Amino acid sequence: MDFSLMLNAHRGFAYLILLTTAIFIIALVMTMFGYSGKITKLLRKSTLFTMIFFHTQALIGLIMLFFFSPGFKAALEAGELMTKKYRPTYIEHPTAMIIAAVLLTILNKKFKTNDKMQMSWVIMAVIALALMFWAFQWNRLFGG
Residue range at the interface with ligand HEM (CB under 6 A); choices 36-44, 79-87, 122-130, 136-144: 136-144
User: Measured between alpha carbons, how far is 61 from 7 in angstroms, rounded to an integer?
Assistant: 8
- Tell me the Cα Rg of the chain: 17
User: Which of 105, 93, 102, 106 has the alpha carbon at shortest distance from 132?
Assistant: 93
Alpha helices in 34-118 (DSSP H): 41-63, 70-78, 87, 93-113
In the complex, the smallest distance separating the C-beta of residue 60 from ligand HEM, rounded to whole angstroms, is 7
Residue range at the interface with ligand HEM (CB under 6 A); choices 43-51, 76-84, 93-101, 117-125: 93-101
Report the interface residues with ligand HEM, using CB under 6 A.
7, 10-11, 14, 17, 54, 57-58, 61-62, 64-65, 69, 71-72, 89-90, 93-94, 97-98, 101, 136-137, 140-141
